Each structure stands twice: as structure tokens, then as C-alpha cells.
Chain A
Amino acid sequence: AQSVTQPDIHITVSEGASLELRCNYSYGATPYLFWYVQSPGQGLQLLLKYFSGDTLVQGIKGFEAEFKRSQSSFNLRKPSVHWSDAAEYFCAVGELDSSYKLIFGSGTRLLVRP
């Protein structure tokens, strides 16, 4: 069965420090992978996606993620965190067939120290 694991419930980083949020997936075929961010009181905003091709994908707000098939991972990175990045981050795996369903990880809450 498909699943997504985000092993870190909370992560705290200092403003200006680098960030890596972990995501591991279980999927029978080539996965379609997504990172969404949810700020307090907001809906989910798509940060980036991976469908195929270059395994390093760039997203909005300076985020990037790398697909590593051998490790079944799709970790999210940012070289320098801003206070406004404090939010909940969700990794998701999806099917792009007729069902178009997404399975979400449990989320990682990012806290940013001044």
C-alpha cells in the first residue's frame, strides 16, 4: 500500500540556517511527489512537485527537493530559512491517473528561532 512517512514531527532552526525536512514514501511504481506548506489559518500551498526527469526540483520561496529512488526519499531543503517559513509542511504522493488521489504524510512543523 502507498504511504508517506515524515519522521520529524517538529523541527526548530535559527533564522538564516539551512533546513532539510525528510520524507520517505512507499509506492509500487514511479511516484508523483509533492510538498505542500500550510501556514496557520491557511489552506495548503504547493511548494514543488516531481513527476519525472531531473531529480532535483526547484520550487517557490527558495525551496528545492531531491528525489532519490534508491532511498525512496523526497527531502525538502532550503539554504537559508526566513522567519516567515514557520509553518506545517506536508509531503504527499499521488496518482495522476483518473483518480488523482493524494496520500499525505503526517506533516512536520517548522519553528524558526529569531
Chain B
Amino acid sequence: SAVISQKPSRDICQRGTSLTIQCQVDSQVTMMFWYRQQPGQSLTLIATANQGSEATYESGFVIDKFPISRPNLTFSTLTVSNMSPEDSSIYLCSARFSGANVLTFGAGSRLTVL
């Protein structure tokens, strides 16, 4: 079955720094997304990662805070910039694999900002 790998799986970061999360899929995908899951909360869509162009952000999320890249079909990065404790969350990459009508999720990257 299709596999999504994220790294880091977890990290502890200092306030004001930035961290980049990588997402690699093992086969062809048509769409890739980034979600945020704040502590004890549900998942919220941050953006759709578009190959070779700017990501499409949801209301409440901006490129300056969450720059996203997708240089090819199977790889994407999410950067959490100028972090504050409120950014402590699990960030999940998801993808729609070719021929599938469902989204597959990575295991997530748990960020703690001190």
C-alpha cells in the first residue's frame, strides 16, 4: 500500500526559530496537503501543496508563516516560521494517490515550541 514518510517525527524548538518538515511519498500522487492538529483538537487543513507553483492556503493560514514547497510529484516541505508556543502541534502530510479516491496520511510531525 502507499506510504507517506515524514521527518522529523518530533522536535523541540525554541521560540523565534523555524523548522522545515519533509514529506516523501513512495508512488505517484495527484494531490498533497498539509494539516495541523493542535493539542486535543481535530485536524485543520493548512494548504494544498501544488507542484511547481505556490501552495493554496486555507483561511487563517499565510505563506509567510507556513511556506510550502513541492518541487516534484512525490516530495513536499512545510516550514513553520518564527515559531511561538501556539505553533506546538502535530503537522500531518496527506496525499491522494493516483487511482485512489481517499486521502492517505503520514504519521505526523509533533512539534513542541518552548
Contact = CB atoms under 8 A, between A and B. Distances in A.
- On whether the two chains bind one another, the answer is yes
Contacts of A31: none
Interface stretch (A21-29, A40-48, A64-72, A73-81): A40-48
Given A43-B106, A46-B102, A90 B92 contact: no
B45 A107 contact: no
B72 interface: no
B101 A51 contact: yes
Contacts of B104: 46
Contacts of A103: 45
A107 B48 contact: no
Contacts of A11: none
B42 interface: yes
A104 B104 CA distance: 14
A45 B105 CA distance: 7
B interface secondary structure, majority: strand
Contacts of B42: 90, 104-107
Contacts of B103: 46, 94, 100, 102
Given A49-B102, A100-B33, 14 more contacts: A36-B105, A42-B107, A43-B92, A43-B106, A46-B102, A46-B103, A90-B42, A99-B48, A101-B33, A101-B45, A102-B45, A103-B45, A104-B42, A105-B42
Interface residues of A, number: 22
Contacts, number: 44
A96 B102 CA distance: 9
B107 A43 contact: yes
B43 A34 contact: no
Contacts of A42: 107
Interface string B68-111: 00000000000000000000000010101000011111111000
A88 B44 CA distance: 16
5 contacts: A44-B92, A44-B105, A46-B104, A51-B101, A102-B43
